[in-house]
Amino acid sequence: MRRVVGSVLMLFAVVAAVLGAGIAIVLGTDNRAETGPHEIETSAPVVVTSPEVFSWAGPTLTMRIDVDKDQQLFIGAANAVDIADYVGSTQRTEISSYNPPWSIGTRDVFGDAPLPAAPGQVDWWMAQSTETGSATISVKLPEQAFSLVVIAVGGGDLDGLQVTASYDIDGGFGIGLGLIGFAVGLGLFGWIAVQGRPLVREGELIEDEFEPDVREGV
């Protein structure tokens, strides 16, 4: 029984060590994982992410978008309900799925209406940036449903759009090292259990090894 428990503990230790090492290696000492640049094929003036793309909360997402150097562009992050209403009747490319490190699904949505207002005129952006050629925003992924939108401002389209994304997790590298340390301790504990050695504290009486001093006759 003790050996079974020990083996299970060592198995957990290996998993924790691999997980910890993975986190530490992927994030590095700057606590950041980066991917890109990746090109997204689109001829629409708007690219938007579905709420399902960001199904996790917590990390800080930094996204850099590059388009034609003369094209003015806007990047905004907001609640998915706001963005769905805002781009609802406009031609756009929707990023419908994402798997790390970089695998996306897209679909083109047709519409004939322009955006109902310039993006700078609405008040519900969590983060926004307007630049020419290249723009970057940083936003902490919130608990609420969330979307990102990229808009070609002043006409034009987003042909040749490239995305570079990074995730920042505060203290992520430390968490990875902590997991490795935890794995080492857990593994040691499991190894001792597998060896079958009893855990004896100094000064304790071990009944099995006690041999009475018996002398016959005088």
Partner 1 sequence: MRRLALAVVLAVLAAGCAIPHPKDSHGVTKVAASDAEVEQIYDRYRDYRKDALDLLDEQPLTAVESGAVLAIDTGALRVARRLLLTKAPDDTQDLQIRAVYAPRLDAYPLWFIVVVEDGVRDLTKVQIFQRQSSTSPWLLVASPETLPSTELPAFDSDTTDALMPADPFRQGQLVMSPQKAVNAYAATLNNAAPTEDPVVSEDSFVTQMRAVANKQRQIDGVTFSQQWTARPVQYVIRAADGGVLVFGTLARVDDYQIEEGRYIDWPEGSEQKAFLSGRLYSSGELHYYHQILVYIPPDGDDKPVVLGQYGGVVDGIGY
Q: Residue 109 in contact with residue 92, Cβ under 8 Å?
A: yes
Region of 66-74, 104-112, 168-176, 199-207 interacting with partner 1 (CB under 8 A): 168-176
Select from 90-98, 104-112, 142-150, 156-164 the region that touches partner 1 (CB under 8 A): 142-150
DSSP E strands: which ranges in 100-202?
A: 103-109, 127-132, 134-140, 146-152, 162-168
Interaction between residue 99 and partner 1 (CB under 8 A): no
Measure the CA–CA gap between 125 and 111, rounded to whole angstroms.
23
105 vs 124, beta carbon nearer partner 1: 124
**211 three-state secondary structure:** coil
Query: Minimum distance from CB of 88 to partner 1 (Å)?
Result: 9
Binder of partner 1 out of 79, 130, 162, 166 (CB under 8 A): 79
Among the listed ranges 66-74, 105-113, 178-186, 203-211, the one in contact with partner 1 (CB under 8 A) is: 178-186
Which residue's CB is nearer to partner 1, number 108 or number 170? 170
DSSP 78: E
170 scored as a contact of partner 1 (CB under 8 A): yes
Angle between helices 172-195 and 2-27 (to 10 degrees): 160
101, two tokens: 């490190």
Q: CB of 42 within 8 A of CB of 91?
A: no
What is the edge-to-edge ordering of all strands in the sheet holding 103-109? 103-109, 92-99, 46-49, 146-152, 72-79, 127-132
Q: Is 126 in the site for partner 1 (CB under 8 A)?
A: no
> Is residue 181 a contact residue for partner 1 (CB under 8 A)?
yes
Residues that bind partner 1 (CB under 8 A): 51, 54-60, 79-86, 116-117, 121-122, 124, 140-146, 167, 169-172, 174-175, 178-179, 181-182, 185-186, 188-189
